[in-house]
Chains A and B, each alone.
Chain A
Amino acid sequence: MSEPLLKVQDLKIHFSTFYGVAKAVDGISFEVQHGEALGLVGESGSGKSVTGMAILQLIQPPGKVVAGDIIFAGKSLVDYSEKEMQNVRGSKISMIFQNPRTCLNPVLTLGRQIDRVYLQHNNVTPAQASEHRLEMLSRVGIGDPIRFSNNYPHQVSGGMCQRAMIVMAIICEPQLVIADEPTTGLDVTIQRQIMELLAEMRERMNETQILITHDLGVVAETCHRIVVMYASRVMEVSPTRQLFNEPLHPYTIGLLNSIPRVDIDEQPTPLPGYVPNALNRPSGCPFHPRCSRAQERCQVEQPELVPVKDGRSAACFFVEK
């Protein structure tokens, strides 16, 4: 098997707050292969966005990567200086953020913002950048790229803002694109358009993507492999089809049973309880207070993520090997 493009090893990110240390990410490991679309699924507070930010070294104080390594194309990003990271961000790894309206600069036209990224990483004239931008905009299906470029973010819809974000993310043809909830907050019809666009970009530009989302429907349709996170830990890693057909971890099973579905008539059964607070994680397995299979052992001992079968792994004592 070839060397993975990205390797996250035992990553721990802690935020020290007035009330104590919040372990936002508590020892997670996963790999992303070349050309793959990996889904990072979890509820809010599970640490999925923080993981995405950490890959780009965007964790701000009071947050801190306290342990672990992030290896991208054979090099450890943790050792990079801020200056070196700036050359990585946008050109080799880029990010699409959840809320395009708050992430775009309101006082610059969309065109200027996109050009800035391209000019930062390429030795070209502004005219060349603008030409390249217009070409990219028409590639993502924008009918009138010139008019679009002259708009300010507030003049276009949320879906169009997200398209501008996507163009900013892919304009330097990065190897890895991290999309953090790219379709949350958009209408289903626009969500479908954006999902199709991301899939098309992946195929045409040979991108590797990490898709961070809470929507199991979105990952089922777009990702090859899925990492399920809960309370700062990875619960299960599995290829998409197997995960949905035969979920291993009790959390994955509960989550899949709890979502109402538009395609079948089955009644969902809710998962009992609430997501634990980041400052006060349960001892042992973080899922044990809500788990139907929990036993005494689960309250004391933390299960490790271990390989199960067919390239799948799960962090549960009761998953059969």
Chain B
Amino acid sequence: MQTIPDKNSPDQIRNDALFLGKIPSSPHIEESISVPLLEIRDLTIHFIVHRRVTGPNVVVHAADKVSLFVKRGETLGLVGESGSGKTTVGRGALRLIEPTSGEVFLNGQNILKVHTRKLRDMRRKMQMVFQDPADSLNPRFTCRQTLVDALSHACYGSQDILRKALDLLESVGLNPSDLDKYPHQFSGGQQQRIAIARALAFTPELLILDEPTASLDVSVKTQVTQLLRELQKKFNLSFILISHDLSNVKYMTNRVAVMYLGQIIEIGNTSDIFSKPMHPYTRVLIDSVPVPDPDQKRKRASLIGEIPSATEPPAGCRFHTRCPIRFEICDQKEPHLAKLANGHMVACHLVNSSSE
């Protein structure tokens, strides 16, 4: 059973105000400015794959000792090739996957330690927008049903629900006349707007966006990213943007974490990462993005081979099998994340040795 909050409780009043865009940010900001909204410490997620009866089980190292934080109102990008564990980290942060070890703090509270009911309350503060809206929206629900369903879980009374559903629609740029349409009657971009509206129904503080524009058309992509940025300002949201589209990440994020085979290999401010990437992998990743400018004949480093299997990550630095500038120590010793200026951190022996 869910508790129905008192209409005049401070939380409810804040939610209402947030909905109407009256207050730009949480009133608790000042007191908790030093505590990041979300902090992940040493998050490790291993999947155990049961092989045949005879063989041993295989462990997939989807995420290994991932530490990161997200401040209020900022966007953190999680980038990497498929199989690098970025989605796993995103889901682990919401405890949609039970982590093997590590800690996840939301507003200073460890979500891995709380019991189910409390977790449900905390999940309202963090919502997820999935990659393909056609899959994540219920095809048998009209837009109204989708929003009403979410809003009723967000504990709104029946008399307020419709008003709030309309507010939500307006804030994502859809018309009230769209309320009674089914998902298939919308285009991909509009479907994603509904998915965003649904996530906003809970007045979350953190949105985890898992490739939110990957399935959208080129000309619609930017509309959705711009909408997300507007909503972020309006509701003071924090985002974790999981994406392999580096151009979009550059445009949307404040900070970026680059992942490779379940580990963060570089993290820092977006401008630093894109203007002076330190890790060879980050460099190749940025260089690999095709640029719509035929005059630009940059010398491009391309990467040989493919990302190794996460069941047996290479020893030492996990990137050493593909690294263009590896040297002796790389396949023996695992580099740790070393701090550079401005919160920029890199896990590479070459950088570590030159900075020491």
Contacts and interface: CB of A to CB of B under 8 A. Distances in A.
Do A and B actually bind? yes
Given A43-B217, A43-B219, A244 B293 contact: yes
Given A189-B302, A258-B218, A274 B290 contact: no
Interface in A246-305: 254-256, 258-263, 267-272, 274-275, 290
Contacts of B300: 192
Given A190-B306, A268-B251, A195 B244 contact: no
Contact of B302 (A196, A216, A245): A196
Contacts of B294: 220-221, 240-241, 244
A271 B284 CA distance: 31
A228 to B, nearest CB: 11
Contacts of B190: 274
Interface string A194-230: 0110000000000000000011111011000000000
A188 interface: yes
A217 B286 CA distance: 13
A159 interface: yes
A271 B289 CA distance: 22
A137 B190 CA distance: 44
A276 to B, nearest CB: 9
Given A220-B290, A244-B294, A261-B292, A189 B284 contact: yes
Interface in B192-232: 217-223, 225-226
B290 A260 contact: no
A193 interface: yes
A181 to B, nearest CB: 13
Interface residues of A, number: 43
Interface of A is mostly: helix
A3 interface: no
A195 B290 contact: yes
Nearest to A215: B290
A275 B251 contact: no
A221 B291 contact: yes
B187 A271 contact: no
Contact of B289 (A44, A188, A290): A188
Interface centre among B219, B221, B225, B286 (most CB of A within 10 A): B219
A236 to B, nearest CB: 15
A275 B223 CA distance: 13
Contacts of A188: 81, 244, 246, 285, 288-289
B295 interface: yes
Contacts of B306: 157, 159-160, 190
Contact of B288 (A44, A191, A241, A263): A191
Interface string A160-176: 10000000000000000
B83 to A, nearest CB: 9
A187 interface: yes
Contacts of B58: none
B220 A259 contact: no
B47 interface: no
Range of interface residues on chain B? 35 or more
B103 to A, nearest CB: 30
B217 A275 contact: yes
Contact of A262 (B217, B221, B274): B274
B82 interface: yes
Nearest to B284: A189
B247 interface: yes
A114 to B, nearest CB: 20
A263 B222 contact: no
A222 to B, nearest CB: 8
B260 to A, nearest CB: 11
Contact of A189 (B221, B225, B247, B288): B288
Contacts of A241: 294-295
Contacts of B252: 260
A191 B284 CA distance: 12
Nearest to A242: B294
Contacts of B248: 260
Given A188-B288, A241-B295, A259 B222 contact: yes
Contacts of A220: 290-294
A100 to B, nearest CB: 14
A219 to B, nearest CB: 8
Nearest to B296: A263
B303 A258 contact: no
Nearest to A222: B290
Given A43-B217, A192-B303, A270-B219, A259 B292 contact: yes
Nearest to B248: A260
Contacts of B251: 260, 267-268
A189 B222 contact: no
Contacts of B217: 43-44, 214, 275
Interface string B258-297: 0000000000000000100000000011101111111110
Interface in B291-343: 291-296, 300, 302-303, 306-307
B218 A43 contact: yes
A270 B302 contact: no
A235 B292 CA distance: 18
A261 B285 CA distance: 14
B125 interface: no
15 contacts: A43-B217, A43-B220, A189-B288, A189-B303, A192-B300, A215-B218, A220-B291, A220-B293, A240-B294, A261-B250, A261-B292, A262-B289, A270-B226, A274-B190, A275-B187
Q: Can you list the 9 inter-chain pairs with the closest CB atoms, starting with the nearest?
A: A217-B290, A270-B222, A260-B251, A188-B288, A271-B219, A216-B292, A187-B81, A43-B217, A270-B223
